[in-house]
Every structure is written in C-alpha cells, then in structure tokens.
Amino acid sequence: MAGTDDGLIQVTTDGGKNWKQIDNIPGVPARTYVNQIIASPHDKNIFYATFNHHRYGDFKPYIFKSIDGGISWSPIQNNLPARGTVYSIAEDHVDRNLLFAGTEFGIYFSNTGGQQWIQLKGGMPTIAVRDIAIQKRENDLVLATFGRSFYVLDDYSSLRNATAETFKSDAHIFPIKEALSYIEETPVGYPLKGFQGESYYATPNPAVGAVFCYYLKDDILTIKEARQKAEKEKIKNGEPPFYPSADSIRMEDAQPAPYLLFTITDESGGVVRKIKAPAKKGMNRIKWDLRYAAPSPVSFQSPDATNPYDQAPIGYMTMPGNYKVSLSKVVDDKITEIVAPQSFVVKALNAATLVASDKKALDAFCKKVNDLFRATSAADAYRSELVSKIKYMKQAVIDAPQPMAGVTQQIQAVEKRLREVDIKLNGDASIARREFETPPGINGRVGNVAFNILNATSAPTNTNIQSLEIAANQFANVLPEIKSIDMEIKKIEQLLEQNNAPYTPGRMPEWIKKN
C-alpha cells in the first residue's frame, strides 16, 4: 500500500504487479497529502493512514482506519484537538486497541481504538511528532520530533491497563514490571562520561529500580487552594467572592502541604522503604532504587550539581524476592490508604563475578552495618552540635552581667573531652595533616565497610567483618562518653542561666514575672 501527495492511496495484493487506486475517501478533502500509512501487526487487513492538508490552510487532524485491506476507510481522530495536524501513527504490538498519534502539538494515545484520545505529557514539549517507533522487547515508545530531538517513553505497558474504570477510580497503581537488581557499571571511572570532557558523548540509562506507574483522579488541595478554586468559580459566574476570616487565614497558613506516600514492604510485611510524591492528578511515575533508606542524619541540603563527588546518601540494596507497594494520601499529617498493596518481584541480574551464595547472611550483615552506621553518624552529628554549643557558651560567660568563677575552666575541660571523642570517631586530623598514614577512626572504619556493601553484591570479606567488629567495640566505649559530656554541658548551662548569661543554643530561659 502506498500514499501519494495528491490524496490517493494505491493498493496492491500481488507484490506490486497490479495496483488499485483509492480516492475520494469520505471526510478527507481533495488533494490531501497522505502523510503516513502503517499496517496492523495483528491483522493483515487492518491499516491506518494519516492525512496532512496544511498546505491549503487546513490544520485539522485526519486519521483513518481500514479493516478490509485499504478498500474502505473510516475516521478515528474523534476528540483530537481541531487544530493539530497528525503526522504519524503506531499500533501497539500487544493490544490492538492501543494507538499512538504524533501531532503538530505533541503525542496522544488511545486505548479504545481511536474512540477517545488522551495527550501524553510528562516532560514532552509542545512540538511536532513526525515519526513513531516501538521497541517491542522493552515496550518503549520512541518519538522523532521536528527540531527538538528524540524522546523515549520507557515501558508504556501501563497504558494497556488504563481502562475507563481505571480513570473513574480515585487512585490506581498499574501492574508493576519485574525489577532487575544490579550495580551499574562505571566504564569511564565515574557515572556517565566522568571527566572525559564535553566532546565525549554519553547519554544516561534509565535508573536502576522498580517503576511504579500510578493514577490520581484529582489534585489533593489544601484549604487555601480549595478556597481559591471556589473564588475563581464565583468570579466566573459573576458572583462576588467572599473574604476569609482571620481564623481561616491562620488555618490556611498553618496547614502542611498534602502529599502521596508509597510504602514498600517485604514478604514478611516489614516496611522496607517509604517514598513521598506530589499529590498531583494524572498518570505519573515514581521509581524505587531497590535500596533501604539512607542511615545518615536527616538533611535538607541538596547535592552540589557541579561537583560529581557530591552525591546524596543512599542505603544498602534489598535482596531479590517478592515485595508489595501501597499508596496513601497524607492530609493534615493523617495517613489514609487509597490503593491496597500491589505485588511485584525483584530479581537479581546476577551479572557480578563474585555473587554472594548466602543472600540471607549478606542481608543480615548489611543490616548490622546499617545499624552501626546510623548510630555512629548520629553520635558524630551530636558531638558536632555540642562543639558548636561550646563556642556560644564561651562568649556567654564573657557577656554575663557578673563574673562566673570557674565556669571557663569547666568549659575548657569539656572542650578537651570533645576533642578526644572527635579523634576516636574521626581520626587524628592534626597528625593526619603531617603524616602520610594514621590509624582510622570509628567512622572511617564503618564508612569504608558501608561503601563496600553499597556498591557490591558479593559476600563481605573477612577484612570487612573484622573491621566492623573493631568499630563496634570502640564505639561501645565512646557513646557513653558523649552522653556524659552532654550531662556536663547541661550543668554548665544551668549555671549560665542562674547568672543571667545571654541565650545559648539549646538552653531554655527561666523567668518569673515581678510586680
């Protein structure tokens, strides 16, 4: 079958020896350019054609379908925007009712055979989609645009399940593809192109993890957003909007933003990970990296994008097996489940050279490392906070309205103990700056073991096992010392308050009203 630029479709059933001309297709203007013709992968008698009449000032979409080998054609553009020429079309290789249409203003899909079309966005610019290809093995949709490069929608298989009933529900999680667990290679010494320079071309692969494709029917609005929406509706209807009361305004300002919460559990029902997502309507995706949450102290500081070594902390990898994910909404800090747990499988790629033979033993060791890392990093963060307190306390003694005999010496004694704790936790920085090698601190040992398990699927080495045991024994003595120092600082803070010293961080003021 062939289409020409004057609106004709030529059909042959004998390999091109004889052709039958099809013209005057009802609904297609005369001399309309036949932009594309494709055959259905499901039925040899089904064909799709797109027509382009923009040369005559007509920018309407024209998509036609034939079920009799091209002899007769019926329009299926239906609710596509009235202005938006259609250039390309594709039919899914699994579901014959799932179609994709590339238009002047983006990409649309229909899982009803063209009866209803929905635009796909998710980062897709408003640009002409001139050609469409489907990578069948991974169910990837590949788009060629006019002047804006190529775009790939990874694994669009969820669209096969996007039925009318799905869109009627408040929320939905689509079937989850089997997730492959592995450690990404870094062939140039660092992710992507490393330090090879701008002339070295590389493009990122999809991130490792399980992809959750979900649907939310409506935005979850705050009180303020709901009020503003109602005001717009009143203005639209010519009604005067009301001004909220002072109590309402305070309530709006105090209300936390709602969000979605994905909860991932293992076979035993234990919570593995929780992931937040915006409470925005539509079809969206979120990815779980197949790792537990990072055991590092909570931080709201984002990594420096210009520094490739500045990476967000990560947790250790989960083991292969069966998992479930549920979806909840969090409104006013109240968690309400809106999608029941959905099952999915995590499978090991087993591409490593030294794969751990005992997965349960590896998981148990990882948990042990995780617990110690959480405790040591938290203790070090608390030590840092105590050091910061010392700086303020020294100045408060100077600024106190009356002399505080002996307090300065107490502060100095505590400061010395904190320096000794710092050496045990982080190593001797003073000596390290002057010598090539120094004994590792507790955090150095634990951090090194943690790094090894974060980036490997092999069993822990004897060195890692011994190093973790040494660090645990050392930390068992350091943690009580930090607690003791903390109590001593609280005593000094009481003295500062009793002597009316200026405020220092972490100290509650005492005050009694006097007549």
Residue range 281-337, pLDDT digits in tens: 999 999 999 999 999 999 998 888 777 778 889 999 999 999 999 999 999 999 999
Instruction: Pick the more confident residue, 351 or 267.
Output: 267
Q: Is the pLDDT of residue 22 over 90?
A: yes
CA dist 261 → 142, 214, 221, 268, 299 (Å): 31, 12, 16, 20, 19
- Crossing angle between the packed helical segments 246-254 and 223-236, to the nearest 10 degrees: 130
**2-162 and 210-220+258-301+311-347: identical CATH topology:** no
Query: Residue 154 in contact with residue 134, Cβ under 8 Å?
Result: no
Highest mean pLDDT among 64-68, 184-188, 351-355: 64-68
Q: Where exactly are the structural domains of the chain?
A: 2-162, 210-220+258-301+311-347, 359-498
Residue of 288, 462, 479, 267 whose CA lies nearest to 371: 479
Alpha helices in 245-358 (DSSP H): 246-254
CA-CA distance, 160 to 92, in Å (whole number)? 9
Residue 178, burial from CB neighbour count under 10 angstroms (0-12, 13-18, 19+): exposed
Give the pLDDT confidence score for residue 103 in this predicted structure: 97
- What CATH topology corresponds to 2-162? Methylamine Dehydrogenase; Chain H (2.130.10)
Residue 66, number of CB atoms within 10 A of its CB: 23
Q: Is the pLDDT of residue 507 over 90?
A: yes
CA-CA distance, 486 to 479, in Å (whole number)? 11
Domain 210-220+258-301+311-347: state its class.
mainly beta
Region 257-267: what's the mean pLDDT? 97
Give the pLDDT confidence score for residue 493 in this predicted structure: 96
Query: Residue 276 in contact with residue 288, Cβ under 8 Å?
Result: no
Mean per-residue pLDDT of the chain: 93
Region 83-87: what's the mean pLDDT? 95
Residue 448, number of CB atoms within 10 A of its CB: 15
Query: Residue 220 in contact with residue 244, Cβ under 8 Å?
Result: no
**Looking at this protein, which amino acid is placed at residue 112?**
T
CA-CA distance, 255 to 329, in Å (whole number)? 15
CA-CA distance, 81 to 76, in Å (whole number)? 13
Beta strands in 255-301 (DSSP E): 259-265, 271-278, 282-288
250: alpha, beta or left, given left = phi > 0 and alpha = psi -120 to 50? alpha
Give the pLDDT confidence score for residue 278 in this predicted structure: 96
CA dist 224 → 9, 229, 280 (Å): 57, 9, 16
The answer to which of 52-61, 198-207, 249-258, 442-451 has the lowest mean pLDDT is 198-207
Residue of 157, 210, 206, 154 whose CA lies nearest to 180: 210
pLDDT tens per residue, range 187-235: 887 777 878 888 988 888 888 999 999 999 999 999 999 999 999 999 9
